[in-house]
Structure 1
Amino acid sequence: MSDFSFVPDAPRSRDIRLLQALAADLEDAGYTVDGVAAFLGEDASAALQRDQLVPALLVCRAEAEAAAPRRVAVPVQLWLLGETMERSHLDEALPRTGTDGLLELGLIERGPVFGTFQAAVDLRPYGTDDGGTGSEKNPAGDLWVASDLGSHQRPGVLRRDHVLGIGQASLSLAQLTVRTPVGRALDLGTGCGIQTFHLLRHTDHVTATDISARALGFARFNLMLNAPQLDIDPEQPQERFTLRLGSLLEPVAGEEFDLVVSNPPFVITPRTGTDAEAERFTYRDGGLAGDGIVAALAAGLEGVLRPGGTAQMLGNWEIPAGREEDWSERLEQWLPDGTDAWVIQRETLTPPEYAEMWLRDAAQGRERTEYAEAYAGYLADFASRNVGSVGFGSMWLRRRPTPAARPLRRFEEITHPVEQPLGPHLEAAVRRFDWVSSRTHLADEHLRVADDVTEERHQRPGAEHPGVILLRQGAGLRRTNLMSTELTGFVSACDGELSVGQIVSALAALLDRPDSGFGENLISEVRNLVLDGFLIPDRW
């Protein structure tokens, strides 16, 4: 089985000492997250985040005129801006590695003019914000991530086996993932390895899979380049990670994991019936019609999870025309009986909006006729399945700890901004569900209002009582709950002193509601406030 240290058209990671030299050079040059930000300044850094290169290019050109140019300008020009560089500049900025070392690692290639060199990949600093060992020059323990160059750095349609770098989707998944320490984790569809970086912070061993050998070559390079920060022994990397080539769950059939994370190639791409493997973008198209990739994973992940094991993934799903209010119906049908699920839909797009986004993503809009044909193909494909819109979001799945446990099945649409990272709040929400589920009734429990919750009242001028009372969360999913008079009274009394039953009884007497239905309905609403995090157990 290949260790993916030498894959054609991917960075090479066999020479450990050369990788260590490169890391030292990058660190000494100040090619870190903070170092690059300080060099470029706020405006140019912000523009670069939008793939606008000109402001950063102007900063670099001004730096070249300085009496003693800063070394960081060279890797910025080379890898972030796609500029052609001379050997002398590379050798001076990265003296341990040098031009020859960069060629050996597959990070540069010869330029169009004799004696010049250009980037073969995108190599940029990355901060995980979740711990790690650093040094005096790099106290945060910044990492470096290699991926393929984007169309803004190297004009033209992306190559079909393009290896995607740090994007909004990968960052979102990293922020969503619950970081409880576990033994074994699976990074399904690892790409350049971003999720594995994060998993290694709280996992003993990570198995990373991908359908692309080039992607695994990039992932291994990134892991080995950042070995010290990720607690990887370069001589025995298999103790911390394993790379496997294959589609979906095939490479790990028969194995079980504590945690699975995945940003799968879920993009819905028209199937013509004559698709060749070389015609699709492997980083985003898993090769199945419609939302088949997400459906297959939702149905199959239970088979690679230990009892109580969890999975977190991104995805999109088709919503039949006219059924937007019932968008979760198809998703519920995908799930096995023993799988808990919490699905959050963050956005929906119409078929034309969806086509435009992904054609733009791969820079396929440069040739008018081909663009029109591809656009029409998307619309015809969606129409063939009566798709009215496409939902985007995240799925949290769990193999139920015991078959008799109360199932968690929650599907909700949250389109407003939420707090990041969201992982700790998802973990707390699941703990509350398990806490509520383990109790046949809440009457003997003591609750208190969560620290981030505030109350908001609205009333017409001169009115004696408010017409609308809202509870708002300042953290997590930042929910808003419309309150009834009795529920408002209950929450006002939740300071941990009185039990749920005592508060309900007091309210029943105060409001002259002796019927049993009053208490049952109120406790049901209280249960929902606990599940949503407005109220929490006093001893939590």
Structure 2
Amino acid sequence: MNDLLGRLRGLLLDTGYTIDGVRERLGDVAATALSREETVPALRATAEGDPLATLIRLWWLGAPVEARGMPAGLPVEELAAAGLVTVEGGRVTSTVHLQPWETDGSGGSGGPVGPVGPGGYVVSDRKVRPGDPALRPDHVVGAGGASANLAQLASRRPAGRALDIGTGCGVQVLHLAGRAEEITATDVNPRALELSRLSWALSGITGVDARLGSLFDPVEDDRFDLIVANPPFVISPAGRFTYRESGFHADDFCRDLVRRAPRHLAPGGTCHLLANWLHVDGEDWRDRVGGWLAGTGCDGWVVQRDVQDPAEYVELWLRDAAEQGTPRHRELYDDWFGWFEAANVTGIGFGWITLNDSGSLDPVVRVEEYGRPVELPVGEYVDEVLGSITTAHRLTDAELLGSRLVVAEGVLEERVGPPGAEDPARIVLRQTGGLRRSAAVGTVEAALAGVCDGDYPLDPLLAAIAELTGEDHDDLRTKAPAALRPLIAEGFFHISTG
């Protein structure tokens, strides 16, 4: 099988069946329509039957193609014997979805498990579209937006041992392969491990330790430097599909994943996961999710990126399984929506959770809502974000006044006010990179942003500002730590270590 997949990989690359190759061959209109699961423009764009068009129709669109039109060298009979295609009446049909996947070099320079470049591939069950047969319970979904979000979030630091929980089609391993010395991947679905092994082989990745089981059960005694998870986080009254629903009650699966992760982190290790959580009437969602992290002993950062009301949520996942318009659609919708109503659910949050075993006896947890666009990949600076959050919390007022602050690179100042006014009505500091936050500040913080370059401690700078403005130095010393601590936590100022 490995020899077959190696030859198939070579043919795919030689034919141009890569992300860039497919985009160029389809054109902008067809490629954009395909991102909405509309296949007609793509089918029209690939009607000529050239080798790349044939591969797109076979592997991505799932359309039958004429056997006589197969690209030269494609081992159709061997692929059929391996169960990857069927041949009937002179037509070849894929039994899987095989898509090129871009790692953008996030894997690093290569490691023992093998390098991954722009030629990564992901094997999953065929995409389900309106009118297709119902999904099988053990359906293995392909890589998509959530996969990309998790890959963009994970820290880029090299890792000795990495763990991918709920590997599915194996896509996260493609991103981990270059920067982790050892990779373990788990899934509760045997078919997921079967297809993920195909993904890794087609991507030139070897040495992955694949284990069957739920949550951390397969790695009970192991610890890792990096843990990632795109788990079955969908909240529903019944676990019908293993790729998205755990069968746990409500959001208990994500809660348990967070609470169990720390015992499997090596000192200094980091865990990144995607999650959904409930908004319940009369309860602050921040308390709910923050409570998951309480007592873990880890520093944590929770970001809610989106919220849907119960109706939107049910409709999203019924569309996901192509169940809109089916005979059971109304029944499924009514049961699911009624279940939310009975639980007083007002919304469902989508977001990411990061844990870091810093070894501190005073762990810090920040829970926030932040839906604005951010610079990608977040993994390039996520360690700095965690460092800023913990530094701002742990510095005493005296330590902060004695620190040398530096304005973060890319921070701009905006002043708003009537033309000709002596004083602005509003001063805003704005980040041009990273999380791209903005913060309204007072004149003292703005003045500090203009002079903090790491050369002088904060206290003498406050004394100089007091002398220039006529304000009381002691009053500024008292107020400054409370005003600056949030700006440090959000990355507008850093503490100089030079």
Q: What amino acid sits opposite 1:194 in the alignment?
A: V
Deviations along 1:42-66, whole A, 9 cap, x unmatched?
Answer: 22222222222111211211x23xx
Displacement of 1:395: 0.2
Deviations along 1:155-189, whole A, 9 cap, x unmatched?
Answer: 23322211111110010000011011111111000
Contact kept in structure 2, 1:22 and 1:94, CA below 8 Å: no
Is 1:174 the counterpart of 2:174? The answer is: no
Is 1:341 the counterpart of 2:327? The answer is: no
Is 1:359 the counterpart of 2:336? The answer is: no
Contact kept in structure 2, 1:80 and 1:153, CA below 8 Å: no
Q: What amino acid sits opposite 1:355 in the alignment?
A: V
* 2:244 paired residue among 284, 289, 293: 284
Q: 1:455 to 1:522 in 2, by over 3 A?
A: same
Contact kept in structure 2, 1:178 and 1:424, CA below 8 Å: yes
Q: 1:327 to 1:132 in 2, by over 3 A?
A: closer
Displacement of 1:513: 3.4
Is 1:413 the counterpart of 2:369? The answer is: yes
**RMSD over aligned Cα, in angstroms?**
2.1
Partner of 1:202: 179
> Residue 495 of structure 1 aligns to a residue in which SS?
coil
Q: What amino acid sits opposite 2:257 in the alignment?
A: L
Partner of 2:265: 305
Deviations along 1:209-239, whole A, 9 cap, x unmatched?
Answer: 0010000001111111222xx4x3xxxx3xx
> In structure 1, how many angstroms separate the alpha carbons of the residues matched to 2:298 and 2:224?
15
Q: What amino acid sits opposite 1:35 in the alignment?
A: G
* 2:123 paired residue among 120, 126, 146: 146
> In structure 2, how many angstroms separate the alpha carbons of the residues matched to 1:145 and 1:358?
22
TM-score (norm 1): 0.86
Partner of 2:223: 256
Q: 1:157 to 1:460 in 2, by over 3 A?
A: farther
Task: State, as a whole percentage, how many aligned pairs show the same letter.
Answer: 38
> In structure 2, how many angstroms separate the alpha carbons of the residues matched to 1:305 and 1:495?
36
> In structure 1, how many angstroms separate the alpha carbons of the residues matched to 2:16 and 2:454?
52
> In structure 1, how many angstroms separate the alpha carbons of the residues matched to 2:324 and 2:63?
24
* 2:9 paired residue among 20, 23, 27: 23
Contact kept in structure 2, 1:26 and 1:94, CA below 8 Å: no
Contact kept in structure 2, 1:85 and 1:118, CA below 8 Å: yes
Partner of 2:32: 46
> Residue 25 of structure 1 aligns to a residue in which SS?
helix
Partner of 2:60: 80
> In structure 2, how many angstroms separate the alpha carbons of the residues matched to 1:125 and 1:367?
31
TM-score (norm 2): 0.93
Contact kept in structure 1, 2:18 and 2:118, CA below 8 Å: no
Contact kept in structure 2, 1:82 and 1:153, CA below 8 Å: no
Is 1:124 the counterpart of 2:99? The answer is: yes
Q: What amino acid sits opposite 1:298 in the alignment?
A: V
Contact kept in structure 1, 2:100 and 2:119, CA below 8 Å: yes
Displacement of 1:495: 2.4
Q: What amino acid sits opposite 2:480 in the alignment?
A: L
Partner of 2:83: 106
Contact kept in structure 2, 1:132 and 1:141, CA below 8 Å: no
> In structure 1, how many angstroms separate the alpha carbons of the residues matched to 2:281 and 2:181?
45
Partner of 2:196: 219
Contact kept in structure 1, 2:406 and 2:453, CA below 8 Å: yes
Q: What amino acid sits opposite 1:484 in the alignment?
A: G
Q: What amino acid sits opposite 2:136 in the alignment?
A: R
Is 1:160 the counterpart of 2:137? The answer is: yes
Partner of 2:383: 427
Contact kept in structure 2, 1:189 and 1:208, CA below 8 Å: yes
> In structure 1, how many angstroms separate the alpha carbons of the residues matched to 2:199 and 2:174?
9
> In structure 2, how many angstroms separate the alpha carbons of the residues matched to 1:153 and 1:371?
12
> In structure 2, how many angstroms separate the alpha carbons of the residues matched to 1:298 and 1:180?
21
> In structure 2, how many angstroms separate the alpha carbons of the residues matched to 1:264 and 1:298?
11
Q: 1:212 to 1:415 in 2, by over 3 A?
A: same
Contact kept in structure 2, 1:133 and 1:141, CA below 8 Å: no
Contact kept in structure 2, 1:508 and 1:519, CA below 8 Å: no
Displacement of 1:307: 2.4
Q: 1:133 to 1:54 in 2, by over 3 A?
A: farther
Q: 5+ unaligned residues in a row in structure 2: which ranges?
A: 111-115
Q: 1:28 to 1:133 in 2, by over 3 A?
A: farther
Deviations along 1:272-327, whole A, 9 cap, x unmatched?
Answer: xxxxxxx711000011010011111111111111222111000010111244xx22
Partner of 2:492: 534
Partner of 2:41: 55
Q: What amino acid sits opposite 2:66 in the alignment?
A: E
> Residue 498 of structure 1 aligns to a residue in which SS?
coil
> Residue 455 of structure 2 aligns to a residue in which SS?
strand
Displacement of 1:345: 0.4
Q: What amino acid sits opposite 1:24 in the alignment?
A: G
> Residue 288 of structure 1 aligns to a residue in which SS?
coil
Is 1:294 the counterpart of 2:254? The answer is: yes
Displacement of 1:249: 1.1
> Residue 103 of structure 1 aligns to a residue in which SS?
helix
Displacement of 1:433: 3.8
> In structure 1, how many angstroms separate the alpha carbons of the residues matched to 2:337 and 2:20?
44
Q: What amino acid sits opposite 2:307 in the alignment?
A: T
Displacement of 1:399: 2.6
> Residue 137 of structure 2 aligns to a residue in which SS?
coil
Deviations along 1:402-426, whole A, 9 cap, x unmatched?
Answer: 4x2x321100100111111111221
> In structure 1, how many angstroms separate the alpha carbons of the residues matched to 2:45 and 2:291?
54
> Residue 328 of structure 1 aligns to a residue in which SS?
helix
Displacement of 1:115: 2.2
Q: 5+ unaligned residues in a row in structure 1: which ranges?
A: 1-14, 65-69, 272-278
> In structure 2, how many angstroms separate the alpha carbons of the residues matched to 1:132 and 1:517?
50
Displacement of 1:94: 4.6
Q: What amino acid sits opposite 2:308 in the alignment?
A: L
Displacement of 1:353: 1.0
> Residue 496 of structure 1 aligns to a residue in which SS?
coil
What is the number of residues matched between the two proteins?
490
* 1:392 paired residue among 350, 356, 365: 350
> In structure 1, how many angstroms separate the alpha carbons of the residues matched to 2:392 and 2:316?
42
Displacement of 1:396: 0.4
